[in-house]
């Protein structure tokens, strides 16, 4: 039997074991969507990183390193700053607020302190989540099709279906606990892969000096991280800001915020922060370096986002290549499963239970959550079949939309005591719509400025300004 197939079977067996072990936690909404809020720091740390990175890390970011060279290290800087700020500013305060109000979802948290009889906060949050998660999930399914196609010779469509079916199966069976513990396995595999692949690529290229000479001959600025700022003028500085701003949505994307809510307590979050930042540094630095070294070894790839699978297949024996294929799938699955649960919780908890006022039992609603998980997964598979070429930019669009919608309002909710229901609504809509409209109408004219930047600015200004204008002391802290 093909060594790659054997490795894949072993990996799938581990996922099945995690799902079966976690199944007993899925009988309630809190258990299915947050593992009962009992996770230790090391699970929270690895789950946060694995969820935040996705298939774009091993396919998209390595492809970016391959395409633009050392300038992609600005993404590394931005991501490290973003995740550090998220842990420092958001994690413990959000955990405390979610526990105080028995919140399960991010819309729960946003609506908890206000009398929102029309459920407008939840309704807007659900629409944004479902819109962006569908886009995000589709990108993960595209990535699974590319990965399985490159490693196992499957045609693209088959790869999408096979990868999607695996993700849906263990998420459906084991819920958030299975997702979180498989994230640990997947995160460790990603960590190993992003150490050994760039090291092997540099070795195969004759050392970093030889690789640098090769790349300089291709493009004198390829290995210069400051090439954009040295000679690019305003456009160069905008590019650097945009690369760094990729870390900005760490402050608000709901699939990461629920990681903080699922921790056992605030002390676990303090320990998780250190692990998370260090691991993310290895993740992102290793991905860019692998792409840069890969450019020297395999110039002229038709699809730059296949450089990591190409390095794995060309530089390692079949068994190791099989492990590296599993690592690529791990990166995809660790985000896709979390997105499935996020969308499912928006439908079941926020829409069915809260907005529509379902009287069904917690156990029955958890069952509906499993069904919705399957349906959303199938939709993402269907949308992914017509292949999208650039995973990196596809993911960043959804990443920025979610971050701009929720980051500013969460920060204001946690730090600005006069934040109002109207401010939350204005901030969510303003941040989200600005990021979308920016891409459609203004981005090209603004030297490609990443949409998260104007989205965050507008979201923050609107949340603060509208809250200041509508604050009524007696109307606040009413709950709901």
- Cβ–Cβ < 8 Å for 170, 178: yes
**Which tens digits make up the pLDDT trace of 327-345?**
877 777 777 778 888 888 8
Is the separation of the CB atoms in 248 and 403 below 8 Å? Answer: yes
Q: How far apart are CA 291 and CA 328, in angstroms?
A: 14
Contact 287, 311 (CB under 8 A): no
The torsion angle over the Cα atoms of residues 42, 47, 53 and 58, rounded to 10 degrees, is 80
Q: Give the total residue count for the chain.
A: 480
Summarised one tens digit per residue, pLDDT across range 200-209 is 999 999 999 9
Each of the 480 residues of the chain gets a pLDDT tens digit; together they read 577 778 878 887 887 787 777 777 777 778 888 888 889 999 999 989 988 887 678 888 999 999 999 999 999 999 999 999 999 999 999 999 999 999 999 999 999 888 887 899 999 999 999 988 888 888 778 878 877 776 677 888 888 888 888 888 877 776 778 778 888 888 888 899 999 999 999 999 999 999 999 999 999 889 999 987 777 688 889 999 999 999 999 999 999 999 999 999 989 999 999 999 999 999 999 999 999 999 999 998 888 888 998 999 899 998 888 888 888 777 777 777 788 888 888 988 999 989 988 888 878 887 888 888 888 888 888 888 876 555 556 677 888 999 999 999 999 999 999 999 999 999 999 999 999 999 889 988 998 899 999 999 999 999 999 999 999 876 555 454
Give the pLDDT confidence score for residue 480 in this predicted structure.
Answer: 46
User: Any residues with CB less than 8 A from the CB of 431 and at least 6 apart, and which?
Assistant: 404, 405, 406, 407, 408, 409, 455, 456, 458, 459, 460, 462
- Lookup: tokens for 77: 């800087």
201, 293 Cβ separation under 8 angstroms = yes
Domain borders along the chain are 3-391
pTM: 0.87
**What's the distance, Cα to Cα, between the start and end of the chain in Å?**
58
Per CATH, is 3-391 categorized as 1.10.10.10?
Answer: no
Question: Could you tell me if 414 and 90 are in contact, meaning their C-beta atoms sit under 8 angstroms apart?
Answer: yes
Rounded to whole angstroms, the Cα distance separating 311 from 301 reads 12
Q: Distance between CA 361 and CA 366 in Å, rounded?
A: 9
């Amino acid at each position: 039997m093909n060594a790659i197939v054997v490795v894949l079977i072993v990996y799938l067996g581990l996922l099945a074991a995690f799902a079966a072990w976690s199944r007993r936690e899925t009988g309630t909404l809190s258990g299915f969507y947050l593992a009962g809020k009992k996770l230790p720091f090391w699970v929270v740390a690895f789950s946060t990183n694995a969820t935040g990175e996705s298939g774009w890390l091993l396919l998209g970011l390595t492809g970016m390193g391959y395409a633009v060279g050392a300038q992609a290290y600005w993404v590394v800087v931005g991501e490290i700053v973003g995740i550090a700020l998220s842990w420092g500013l958001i994690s413990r305060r959000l955990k405390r607020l979610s526990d105080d109000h028995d919140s399960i979802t991010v819309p729960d948290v946003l609506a908890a302190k206000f009398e929102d009889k029309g459920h407008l906060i939840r309704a807007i949050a659900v629409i944004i989540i479902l819109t962006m998660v569908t886009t995000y999930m589709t990108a993960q399914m595209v990535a699974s099709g590319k990965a399985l196609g490159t490693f196992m010779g499957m045609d693209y469509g088959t790869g999408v279906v096979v990868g999607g079916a695996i993700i849906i199966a263990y998420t459906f069976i084991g819920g958030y606990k299975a997702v979180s513990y498989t994230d640990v396995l997947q995160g460790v595999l990603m960590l190993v892969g992003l150490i050994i692949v760039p090291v092997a690529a540099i070795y195969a290229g004759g050392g970093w000096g030889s690789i640098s000479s090769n790349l300089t001959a291709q493009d004198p600025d390829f290995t210069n991280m400051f090439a954009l700022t040295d000679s690019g003028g305003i456009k160069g500085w905008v590019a650097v800001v945009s690369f760094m701003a990729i870390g900005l949505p760490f402050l608000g994307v709901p699939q990461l915020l629920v990681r903080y809510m699922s921790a056992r307590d605030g002390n676990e979050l303090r320990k998780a922060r250190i692990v998370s930042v260090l691991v993310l540094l290895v993740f992102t630095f290793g991905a860019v370096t692998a792409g840069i070294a890969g450019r020297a070894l395999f110039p002229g790839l038709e699809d730059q986002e296949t450089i990591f699978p190409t390095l794995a297949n060309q530089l390692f024996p079949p068994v190791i290549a099989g492990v590296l294929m599993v690592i690529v799938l791990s990166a995809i699955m660790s985000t896709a499963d979390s997105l499935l649960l996020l969308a499912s919780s928006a439908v079941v908890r926020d829409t069915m239970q809260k907005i529509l006022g379902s009287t069904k039992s917690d156990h029955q609603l958890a069952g509906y959550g499993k069904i919705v998980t399957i349906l959303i997964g199938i939709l993402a598979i269907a949308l992914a079949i017509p292949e999208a070429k650039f995973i990196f930019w596809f993911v960043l669009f959804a990443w920025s939309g979610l971050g701009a919608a929720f980051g500013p309002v969460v920060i204001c909710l946690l730090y600005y005591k006069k934040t109002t229901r109207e401010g939350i609504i204005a901030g969510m809509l303003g941040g989200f719509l600005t990021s979308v409209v920016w891409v459609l109408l203004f981005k090209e004219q603004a030297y490609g400025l990443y949409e998260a930047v104007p989205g965050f600015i507008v979201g923050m200004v609107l949340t603060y300004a509208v809250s200041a204008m509508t604050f009524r002391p007696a109307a606040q802290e009413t709950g709901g």
